[in-house]
Amino acid sequence: MDNECLLACAVGVPVAGAFLMPLVGRASKTVRNLLSLILITVPLGASIALIPTVLAGKTVYISAAMPLGFNISLAADGLAVFMAIVSSFISAVIALYSFDYIDHYENQDEYYLMIVLFLGSMMGICYSANLIPLYIFWELTALSSWRLIGFFREEHFVKRADKAFLTTVFGALLMLLGFIMIGQQAGSFELAVIRDKLAAEPVSAVAAGLVIAGILAKSATLPFHTWLPDAGVAPSPVTALLHAAVLVKIGVYAYARIFVATIAAGAFWDQAIPAIALASTLVSAGAALVETDIKRIIAYSTVSQIGFIFLGLSSGTELGVTGALLFILMHGIAKAGLFLSAGIIEQKTHVRDITKLGGLVKTMPVTAVSFLLCAFSVMGIPPFGGFFSKYMVITGALSGGRTALAIAFAACGFLTIVYLFRLFNAVFLKEAPSQEILVKEGSHTMVFSIAMLAVLSVAGGLLVSYPAEFGLEAVKQIMGLVK
């Protein structure tokens, strides 16, 4: 299969195949589940197959002409392939975990439809080479996440889903206005044309601000961050998907694609973005320190860690941007492990308040160890994968002359250690407030999923040179395009 077909399959197969889920589900739940996993692994396999081409410095490009100049253009370079592999791999693990977790709930056909459509839309965002299809896929993720967050259909849950939908769609509409302004200034919506036309002409600060507003809303960054902790009402595989693999990472990917690989954000936003990221990191870390709901603590941790990625991407240095890409990978693996572990705890104990939990290391040792290993990576403890990505981001900020920001983010890293150890101690180590909670481990499939993510959190550090080299090549490719 040639590279163009691989690229088309990476996007087209999950997007089109998602709509088969309700039909296949009527015939067989088992076949539907396996088909969903296949549809998610197709873009993973296709993206892996594109690695030799992009590492050779080549870009795979396909385009279909549409009316009014809104071409459906797809391009695979190092950045797109890196992000596509991270998203599709973690989504595949989450889909596998879902087989047992979601088995006894209603609306399963819709669940798998939305999970696959969500991943397909993410592939569309990763590989879009035109602002219009990028926006269309962006909105498809909002639609999918809306249905997934409100999966249980209770009024309280639906309100939380509506909040997430309205916040991200409002941001997306602002972003669309920015896209239109950029398109008018460049005379095209094609990213390659915009890059060439605006190489010497800075983009409007207003246009950049509108696009950044959309990015901040989708990535749950201050002041748009509150919808993400509220989205914890969704099933745990969904929260893992939102936090670790796809939804909030869409924003940081779009920032890298637009403001690192295509155009400069401008002097004002170069200073404002890391400052906003720092405020978001501090506020959410403080919230995690006092929160008692296990999923909300992990959610606030996600908001906090996203700030590190913005710091790296806005550093303007190869080391910082490479660290940001590595952070996306390492945080995605570890945070998925934390949420899926929390899903096992919630499903087995029916409790999310950490003040009412305790002693679970005795009855759920595999879950406890897996949770701790993933937490070590998020904390940035060496030699876990999260240590190297966090080190590269902070060192990149220092290299870019942002010493005060680097020190402040290092302090935020200490807060991460405090609130995650507080969480682990409350759930697994301290005595239960009443009698011992008599529960057992989750199903074999669910425990295998979290154990695999925990092992990868360790392996990501021990074998960090491989993803780091890939990330560096991707960064060299995209930063070489910025004039």
What count of other Cβ atoms lies within 10 Å of the Cβ of residue 106? 11
Q: Report the alpha-carbon distance of residue 131 to residue 129 in Å, rounded.
A: 7
Number of H helices, E strands in the chain: 22, 2
Q: Report the alpha-carbon distance of residue 376 to residue 227 in Å, rounded.
A: 26
**Helix, coil or strand: residue 64:** strand
74 — phi, psi (to 5°)?
A: -125, 140
Statement: residue 447 has pLDDT above 90: yes
pTM of the model: 0.93
Domain assignments of the chain as residue spans, ordered by start: 266-483
Statement: residue 69 has pLDDT above 70: no
- Which has more confidence, 368 or 235? 368
Q: With bands split at pLDDT 50, 70 and 90, how would you rate the model's confidence at 400?
A: confident
**Helix, coil or strand: residue 481:** coil
Measuring CA to CA, which residue among 247, 308, 296, 225 is closest to residue 114? 247
**Helix, coil or strand: residue 130:** strand
The residue-averaged pLDDT of 213-232 equals 87
What count of other Cβ atoms lies within 10 Å of the Cβ of residue 150? 24
- The per-residue pLDDT for 482 is 40
Measuring CA to CA, which residue among 406, 208, 171 is closest to residue 308? 406
Statement: residue 72 has pLDDT above 70: yes
The enclosing H or E element of 75 equals strand 72-76
What count of other Cβ atoms lies within 10 Å of the Cβ of residue 351? 16
Q: With bands split at pLDDT 50, 70 and 90, how would you rate the model's confidence at 483?
A: very low
Statement: residue 436 has pLDDT above 60: no
- The per-residue pLDDT for 42 is 96
76 — phi, psi (to 5°)?
A: -115, 110
The enclosing H or E element of 387 equals helix 385-399
Q: With bands split at pLDDT 50, 70 and 90, how would you rate the model's confidence at 249?
A: confident
pLDDT digits (tens, 9 = 90+) for 360-398: 898 899 999 999 999 999 999 999 999 999 999 999 999
- The per-residue pLDDT for 481 is 45
Spatial CB neighbours of 288, under 8 Å, sequence gap ≥ 6: 297, 300, 301, 304, 415, 419
pLDDT digits (tens, 9 = 90+) for 274-316: 999 999 999 999 999 999 999 999 999 999 999 999 999 998 8
Q: With bands split at pLDDT 50, 70 and 90, how would you rate the model's confidence at 434?
A: low
Chain mean pLDDT for the chain? 90
Statement: residue 330 has pLDDT above 70: yes
- The per-residue pLDDT for 68 is 66
User: By percentage, how much of the chain surpasses pLDDT 90?
Assistant: 69
pLDDT digits (tens, 9 = 90+) for 91-144: 999 999 999 999 888 889 999 999 999 999 999 999 999 999 999 999 999 999
